């Protein structure tokens, strides 16, 4: 273990103060890159070594699994094996863990109870339950779409509402129905012995509220609570923290003076990095912290050790455009470094080729590719990038995205495990009862469901008891009974069988693997061989879990899988470039950062365009993205983007993101849109291949690109004017295309519109212009159509007729 000297070594005065705080509540306002994680980890070590607190009295909560891993890792280095006893995790994993032990002490106001072997329902499970409920209540799925209902229920829960409470507050027809759906949904979850993500937090909150004994136990155990990314806390999470940390009334009366004796709360956050308001995170919580905890101390960390001053100034110039923020200075401790490189691509493939070429160059210059990250706003954007990386044999890791555990075959196999773990899980039952086929059809299953519902049985028990009386054929009865018996048998032996063995047992006995092999052999399903690999991979994951975990049972395994989306951490360390959304990158740092898709409607996202608050959140997201970079920052956008045109027939031409225009030109190099000059003028002399043209307006002949874009890659069948794209093999001859006249369609004059104008569209009918995006000749109109909702229209292509 380290001595104090070492714990405070290399820290600045503010950081030292933060690490060596005494008892009581404290708030650390930590700007991006200010050494927040260092402070947090050293603080934990300080608590142990200097303040002599036991490691298991410490609870550290982070927002993402990655942040938790990082913290564990660093603490391991600081305090060695003792780190194992410190509870570090996300809110959700902490709550899941706690509920495994305590949930049987809980009874909801509605009278629902859960058992310790509850399962955690994901988005799909949730929606399917909601859908069932909506149908059962004879409500129209169109009016009460499962998607929207899930969202509403989630919002309510994050605000701390349970069905009974909401029922009292529902005012109009719709709210009343939502309350009914909410209530039935919650009842179904209880019947299935299942909780959703939001319940994990809320149930523990309610439990701590209603059960003083349990609350006392928690308070005695967790004397030191640390919360990272506090600006992203929502009401129910904050409530949870308060319940653990604040004295109960009885304690206040008993000994008011010693409430904070050998007890501490440390919250760390940065309002400028609040990017989860859609999950009901509320940065006003961090702003109100000092008034909620009157005795709290505050430490500000304003020295940035991560980024070059250029990158910092870029970040600052962007975030300055937000009105809802507290002025804060971030002092740079590094030199100016390199200017930010900006690139205009023809389309998303071109954009990807540019990135790939830069990676190659950086790698040739000795940059570790593991030090590079490619960030984007939406997961869908990874696809183009991946295609190009695969083609150039460039190893990469996608973090998050289409998750391994969401694949059909994985969900199937996990369905068996879940059913074995929790026989009440109706979702799991329905998923696996006929996979692989057992000759059971829709009618049989419908009868089974209603039989189970009437007799208040689990589907599994109903499968054993259902008979001819319910109109089920002899053959179906046998299939159901056999299935139920198999599950029961495996349940009985599950406690003393390793997960990997249960898994291979299922794969064999059910014939699931044989079915896949058969499909693969017959070539019926070209995905089948991949599926086999995935199933095998899951087996490996189970094996690994058995050797790593100190409690390798089904419970721990399934909990982990429900809460940790990344398949393994190991891939993070390999020397390959990483791809992730900006949200996932939060809290991480990389020497080299690429930010893709800086286009209006993509980033900032379309759905933020008509709300100032949402727009400010997008800007904070951009701020987070930029401040991930330590040395080099690349910003790219594409002139057109295929993914943009899915919903409509209109053109995919894009407008550069407003965030690019918020950056002072002096910090940028390459081609970028500037607020002053119309963007078209800048293009002609730009050659992305020549480094010297990173500076604007400098004419150079272009060398042959090394990126060999495969000939078969041509994607657009539409013969557009082909401007010299990054990925093209074509050397200088075609250079001129950049300055060729614009495509004809672009020059068709169109009628200028303003906000409030009524317009007519061939396909969508009458609508009203609610917003104008962009300027000069590059305008987009956000049009609200009565029937179709809001759409982003490009007047150059969409035929909009102004109505008077």
Partner DNA sequence: AATGCGGTACTTTTT
Partner DNA sequence: GTACCGCATT
Which residues form the catalytic set?
A: 36-37, 228-229, 273, 628
> CB count, 10 Å around CB of 284?
11
CB-nearer residue toward DNA: 439 or 701? 439
Three-state DSSP class for 694? helix
- Residue placing its CB nearer to DNA in the complex, 276 or 686: 276
Contact yes or no for 593/550 (Cβ under 8 A): no
Distance CA 425, CA 190 (A): 10
First to last CA, the chain: 78
Of 70 and 358, CB closest to DNA: 70
* Residue 159 beta carbon to DNA: minimum distance, rounded to whole angstroms: 14
26 versus 37: smaller Cβ distance to DNA = 37
Cβ closest to DNA, residue 330 vs residue 433: 433
How far apart CA 345 and CA 688 sit, in angstroms, is 10
In the complex, minimum distance from the CB of residue 49 to DNA, in angstroms, rounded to a whole number: 30
SS3 579: strand
Q: Which is nearer to DNA, 700 or 771 (CB)?
A: 771
Instruction: Characterize the bridge pairing of strands 765-773 and 758-761.
Output: antiparallel
694/342 Cα distance (integer angstroms):
8
- Per CB under 7 A, residues contacting DNA are 63-66, 90-93, 123, 131, 142, 145, 147, 197-198, 275, 278-279, 377-380, 400, 434, 437-444, 473, 476, 563, 565, 580-581, 583-584, 605, 607-608, 614, 643, 646-647
If the CB atoms of residues 76 and 434 are measured against DNA, the closer one turns out to be: 434
Three-state DSSP at 332 gives: strand
The strand pairing partners of 376, in sequence order, are 581
Peptide bond into 436 cis (omega under 30): yes
Minimum Å distance from CB 379 to DNA?
3
Token digits of residue 657: 């993101």
Query: In Å, how far are 62, 514, 515, 522, 528 from 518, measured between CA atoms?
Result: 45, 6, 5, 6, 9
Is the CB of 26 or the CB of 476 nearer to DNA?
A: 476
Shortest Å distance, C-beta 140 to DNA: 11
Provide the sign of the torsion angle of the four alpha carbons 385, 388, 391, 392, taken in this order.
Answer: negative
CB count within 10 Å of CB 380 equals 15
Q: How far apart are CA 503 and CA 507, in angstroms?
A: 6
**What's the rounded Cα separation, in Å, for the pair 724 and 397?**
30
Does the CA dihedral 492-493-494-496 come out positive or negative? positive
Collapsed DSSP state (helix, strand, coil) of residue 732: helix
For DNA, the closer of residues 401 and 423 by Cβ is: 401
Q: Which two tokens stand for residue 693?
A: 């043209």
Considering the complex, what minimum distance in angstroms separates the CB of residue 767 from DNA? 18
650 Cβ neighbours under 8 A, 6+ residues apart: 793, 794, 797, 798
Q: How far is the CB of 130 from DNA (least distance, A)?
A: 12
- Helix, strand, coil fractions of the chain, as percent rounded to 5: 50, 15, 35
**Cβ closer to DNA: 18 or 162?**
162
**By C-beta, is 450 or 664 nearer to DNA?**
450
Centroid of chain to Cα 726? 31
Rounded CA-CA distance 654/794 in Å is 9
Q: What is the closest distance, in whole angstroms, from the C-beta atom of residue 417 to DNA in the complex?
A: 19
CB of residue 750 to DNA, shortest distance in Å: 24
Strand partners, 580: 375
Residue 278 is encoded by which pair of tokens?
């859609």
* Distance of alpha carbon 631 from alpha carbon 591, whole angstroms: 5
Helix ranges, 196-347 (H) = 197-210, 212-221, 235-245, 249-254, 284-287, 289-292, 309-319
Angle made by CA atoms 24, 85, 98, in degrees to the nearest 5 = 75
The DSSP bridge pattern shows strands 340-345 and 303-304 to be: unpaired
Separation of alpha carbons 133 and 249, rounded Å: 40
Name which of 222 and 644 has its Cβ closer to DNA.
644
Task: Mark out the alpha helices in 115-211 (DSSP H runs).
Answer: 123-136, 146-158, 163-169, 173-191, 197-210
Q: Which token pair is 761?
A: 């569209």
Nearest-angstrom CA–CA distance, 653 and 610: 20
- DSSP-derived letter for residue 30 is E
Nearer to DNA (CB atom), residue 17 or residue 90: 90
- Least separation in angstroms between residue 648's CB and DNA is 8
* Number of residues assigned to the chain: 804
Instruction: In angstroms, give the least distance from the CB of 541 to DNA.
Output: 17
Burial of 329 (0-12, 13-18, 19+ CB in 10 A): exposed
Contact by Cβ (8 Å): 388, 353: yes
Q: Are strands 372-376 and 396-398 parallel, antiparallel or unpaired?
A: unpaired
Contact present, 61 and 90 (Cβ < 8 Å): yes
CB atoms within 10 A of CB 592: 22
């Amino acid at each position: 273990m380290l001595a104090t000297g070492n714990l405070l070594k290399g820290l600045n005065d503010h950081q030292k103060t933060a690490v060596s705080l005494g008892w009581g509540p404290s708030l650390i306002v930590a700007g991006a890159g200010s050494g927040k994680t260092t402070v947090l980890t050293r603080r934990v070590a300080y608590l142990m070594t200097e303040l002599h607190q036991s490691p298991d009295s410490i609870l550290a909560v982070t927002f993402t699994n990655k942040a938790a891993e990082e913290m564990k890792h660093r603490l391991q280095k600081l305090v060695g094996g003792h780190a194992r006893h410190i509870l570090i995790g996300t809110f959700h994993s902490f709550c899941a863990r706690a509920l495994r032990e305590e949930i049987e002490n809980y009874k909801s106001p509605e009278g629902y109870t859960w058992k310790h072997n509850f399962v955690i329902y994901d988005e799909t499970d949730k929606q399917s339950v909601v859908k069932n409920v909506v149908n059962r209540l004879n409500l129209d799925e169109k009016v009460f779409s499962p998607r929207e209902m899930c969202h509403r229920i989630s919002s309510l829960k994050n605000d701390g509402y349970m069905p009974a409470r909401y029922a009292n507050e529902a005012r109009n027809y719709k709210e009343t129905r939502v309350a009914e759906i909410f209530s039935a949904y919650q009842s179904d979850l209880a019947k299935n012995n299942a909780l959703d993500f939001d319940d994990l937090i809320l149930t523990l909150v309610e439990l701590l509220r209603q059960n003083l004994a349990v609350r006392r136990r928690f308070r005695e155990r967790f004397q030191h609570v640390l919360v990272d990314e506090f600006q992203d806390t929502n009401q129910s999470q904050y409530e949870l923290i308060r319940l653990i940390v604040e004295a109960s009334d009885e304690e206040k009366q008993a000994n008011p003076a010693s409430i904070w004796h050998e007890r501490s709360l440390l919250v760390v956050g940065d309002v400028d990095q609040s990017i989860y308001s859609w999950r009901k995170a509320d940065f006003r919580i961090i702003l109100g912290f000092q008034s909620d905890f009157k005795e709290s101390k505050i430490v500000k960390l304003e020295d940035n050790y991560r980024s070059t001053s250029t990158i910092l100034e870029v970040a600052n110039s962007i975030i300055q455009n937000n009105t809802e923020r507290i002025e804060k200075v971030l002092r740079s401790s590094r030199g100016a470094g390199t200017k930010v490189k900006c690139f205009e691509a023809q389309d998303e493939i071109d954009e990807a080729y540019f990135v790939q070429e830069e990676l190659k160059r950086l790698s040739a210059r000795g940059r570790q590719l593991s030090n590079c990250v490619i960030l984007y706003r939406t997961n869908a954007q990874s696809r183009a990038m991946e295609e190009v990386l695969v083609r150039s044999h460039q190893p990469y890791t996608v973090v998050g995205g289409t998750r391994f555990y969401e694949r059909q075959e994985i969900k199937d196999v996990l369905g068996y495990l879940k059913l074995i773990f929790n026989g009440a899980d109706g979702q799991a039952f329905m998923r696996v009862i006929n996979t692989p086929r057992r000759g059971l059809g829709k009618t049989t299953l419908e009868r089974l469901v209603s039989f189970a519902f009437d007799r208040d049985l689990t589907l599994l028990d109903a499968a054993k008891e259902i008979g001819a009386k319910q109109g089920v054929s002899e053959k179906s009865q046998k299939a159901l009974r056999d299935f139920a018996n198999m599950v029961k048998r495996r349940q009985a032996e599950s406690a003393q069988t390793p997960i990997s063995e249960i898994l291979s047992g299922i794969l064999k006995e059910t014939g699931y693997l044989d079915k896949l092999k058969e499909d693969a052999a017959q070539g019926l399903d070209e995905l089948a061989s991949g599926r086999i690999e995935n199933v095998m991979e899951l087996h490996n994951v189970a094996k690994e879990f058995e050797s790593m975990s100190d409690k390798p049972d089904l419970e721990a395994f399934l909990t982990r899988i429900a809460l940790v989306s990344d398949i393994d951490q190991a891939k993070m360390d390999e020397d390959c470039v990483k791809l992730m959304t900006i949200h996932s990158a939060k809290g991480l740092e990389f020497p080299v950062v690429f930010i893709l898709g800086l286009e209006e409607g993509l980033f900032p996202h379309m759905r933020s365009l008509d709300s100032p608050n949402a727009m400010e959140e997008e800007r904070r997201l951009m701020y987070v993205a930029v401040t991930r970079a330590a040395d080099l920052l690349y910003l790219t956008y594409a002139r057109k983007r295929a993914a943009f045109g899915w919903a409509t027939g209109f053109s995919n031409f894009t407008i550069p993101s407003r965030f690019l225009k918020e950056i002072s030109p002096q910090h940028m190099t390459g081609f970028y849109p500037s607020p002053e000059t119309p963007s078209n003028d800048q293009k002609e002399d730009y050659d992305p291949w020549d480094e010297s043209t990173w500076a604007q307006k400098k004419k150079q002949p272009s060398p042959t690109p090394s990126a060999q874009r495969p000939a078969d890659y041509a994607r657009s069948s539409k013969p557009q004017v082909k401007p010299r794209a990054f990925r093209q093999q074509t050397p200088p001859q075609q250079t001129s295309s950049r300055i060729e006249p614009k495509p004809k369609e672009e020059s068709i004059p169109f009628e200028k519109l303003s906000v409030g104008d009524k317009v007519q569209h061939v396909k969508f009918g009458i609508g009203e212009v609610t917003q104008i995006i962009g300027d000069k000749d590059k305008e987009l109109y956000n049009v609200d159509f009565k029937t179709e909702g809001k759409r982003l229209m490009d007047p150059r292509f969409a035929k909009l007729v102004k109505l008077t």
